[in-house]
Chain A
């Protein structure tokens, strides 16, 4: 299939080597450093028999934080993924005007480039009881009688921090999948429509195979990033009420930079990496199976 030329194999090395070496040099040392740190004591720097990992299993703050992040990641990813996908499909198929498309593009760009801390502050201003606009509007329209204590009750507080994430990061899913839809050959889609395939059938049979790798990509990147959620939580709830929104990422940050035990933080981070890699492998497999025969192609 490929057109071969003399010097191609050299070109291959010349093109691949510099960026890969750059990445290796940037990542390998920090990663090894982190692993070493996770295996040593934070005071003495000595090997400590996996103590940091063992400690995590006995630390109730750690298990609270894991529970909190599990809820957060699950809800956030499901909503963002589905909403982003539906938006990409609906806008791609229903809006023909380039300018209207651009308008939506701008609308979704705004949350994405709002500094997370500013988003947190903004939503705090809106959610705050007594003088926040949300309760005010809800009360004015008669939807609620008593104020909802958005930021100081467990379920509403979780809702509040999730809502900021969904507002900010659904556009990420949208942008990637929208671009992905553009790679689907139009003629194939049109042919299917002529053959009488319904919208859903066209999506499943034609677009989905194209989108699958990108879906894996957005899922895994959103997963890796929501595991590190930080700024807006610190501004909205500071981890409260109690430890309801003290997510693993917030806890790791506090342990590392406020409690100055970077070694324990490193151990917890490595567990996060392990979990993300496991989920990545599972997703990869799932999508491969769904792809069926195509799995061995590429």
Chain B
């Protein structure tokens, strides 16, 4: 009897969905109001997710949720390089296709400022969990709790729009069997010079310096370490400054200590050098440790790599945050259940299963779990990086263009096409022109 009931409802929901899609799809956004009373259970929830090992954990826990609730989860995987534009076009057209989206945390400013996401604290009364690192909440809060706020958004009420599902953060890996733990970037260079052996070959470092975002992301710990910033609190671009140039000189030394050709190295090549034993130190991300260095199928160095928070510059250690978040589009018809899945997936109990299945977790208690640390030796270093705490990337939808422009010049410096001085001067000019165009200077 009750079974029949749910089925009937499901069919109804489906029919409505189909009808709405058929009719014209320019339906208005669902207002984010608190709904009371029981909410119909949908037949399925659709999640737009990223393809690759970033989806490993979530795919592993989905069957459990399906069994528990009877809701089918459609996890649609999109290529990492284009998930962003897929989400943007879907949201712009107010499509109801996705009940949950898995988004790189730096995409959130765009989605939040456009009003595309449901405020979790407002609509569902979400309470912050002390076991979740505060920086994760900061990264999903809009307007941002610290740093400059983009023009026109200053007066919006502050809300939480996403929960981290995959707790990526930058940290550092070095061959503990060859070099002592580098406390500072000077130590890194000294280590690198000491072990470098062109005949083996063994390189002291492997810099990720491919054009665009890869170069930009890799440079942040150095740039902040020397006190450099992309812009000041009034959005004035500040890449042509002595601090940044000083950090770039250090980076240039690291590039010279890296294998030839790093000017086209992305994460995959960098991690490969480390895993094959050809590099002694790298900046890294949890996924690289899991898929390369600690993966016995490809790694020559299992058990030889030590992990830590990034080395310090004169101003300190600066790991950067690169979380994947789950968020609920305002257009979803199944927000309550989407939220149910979200809280379930990020709960302490499920996160342990998630981590054991090879996913990168997000809870403090999971990263510091001694049982897991045995299996995943980099977990404590990730927790260490979270305690620093990590830096949240500048909260502006213009981050992507800026880092692309900046990263191209960073790449040109390593490739020898531009000198440091030329590069920063051009970048300063182009980034300023971009922000002016975007209306950041009145």
Contact = CB atoms under 8 A, between A and B. Distances in A.
Interface of A: 43, 55, 58-61, 128-131, 147, 149, 151-154, 157, 234, 237-244, 246, 254-255, 257-261
A242 B418 contact: yes
A241 B211 contact: yes
A179 B197 CA distance: 58
Nearest to B211: A240
Contacts of A154: 415, 417
Nearest to B398: A259
Nearest to B423: A242
Nearest to A160: B264
Nearest to B265: A152
B409 A242 contact: yes
Interface in B409-425: 409, 411-412, 414-418
Contact of A260 (B82, B397, B429): B397
Given A129-B260, A153-B415, A240 B84 contact: no
Contacts of A237: 210-211, 264
Given A60-B426, A257-B85, 16 more contacts: A43-B439, A59-B433, A60-B429, A128-B261, A147-B261, A151-B264, A152-B262, A240-B263, A240-B411, A241-B263, A241-B264, A241-B415, A242-B417, A258-B85, A259-B404, A261-B437
Nearest to A117: B79
Nearest to A59: B433
B174 to A, nearest CB: 20
A261 B85 CA distance: 12
Q: Is the interface of A mostly helix, strand, loop or mixed?
A: loop
Given A240-B264, A259-B400, A130 B259 contact: yes
B179 to A, nearest CB: 21
6 contacts: A147-B261, A151-B263, A151-B264, A152-B414, A242-B412, A243-B211
A160 to B, nearest CB: 10
Contacts of B19: none
Contacts of B264: 128, 149, 151-152, 157, 237, 240-241
B70 interface: no
Contact of B417 (A60, A244, A260): A244
A154 B263 CA distance: 11
Q: 6 tightest CB-CB pairs across the interface, nearest first? A: A240-B211, A242-B412, A152-B263, A241-B415, A129-B261, A151-B264
B211 A246 contact: yes
Contacts of B266: 238
Nearest to B438: A43
Given A237-B211, A260-B88, A260-B110, A152 B409 contact: no
Give the contact-size bracket for chain B.
Answer: 35 or more
B269 interface: yes
Contacts of A260: 88, 110, 397
Contacts of A58: 433
A55 B211 contact: no
A239 B211 contact: yes
Contacts, number: 107
Contacts of A243: 211, 408, 412
A141 B45 CA distance: 57
Interface in B46-60: none
Contact of B278 (A130, A254, A258): A130
Interface of B: 81-82, 84-85, 88, 110, 210-212, 214, 259-264, 266, 269, 272-273, 278, 397-398, 400-401, 404-405, 408-409, 411-412, 414-418, 426, 429-430, 433-434, 437-439
Contacts of B82: 257
B84 A152 contact: no
A237 B414 CA distance: 14
A159 to B, nearest CB: 14
Nearest to B276: A131
Contacts of A149: 260-261, 263-264
B326 to A, nearest CB: 22
Given A258-B85, A259-B400, A240 B408 contact: yes
Contacts of B405: 61
A258 B404 contact: yes
B401 A151 contact: no
Contacts of A239: 211-212, 408
B411 A241 contact: yes
A152 B415 contact: yes
Contacts of A55: 437
A236 B416 CA distance: 19
Given A238-B210, A242-B417, A152 B412 contact: no
Nearest to B273: A130
Contacts of A61: 405, 430
Nearest to A239: B211
B406 to A, nearest CB: 12
B212 A238 contact: yes
Contacts of B417: 154, 241-242, 244
A143 to B, nearest CB: 18
Contacts of B397: 260
Nearest to A146: B260
Given A240-B264, A242-B409, A244-B417, A259 B401 contact: yes
B40 to A, nearest CB: 35
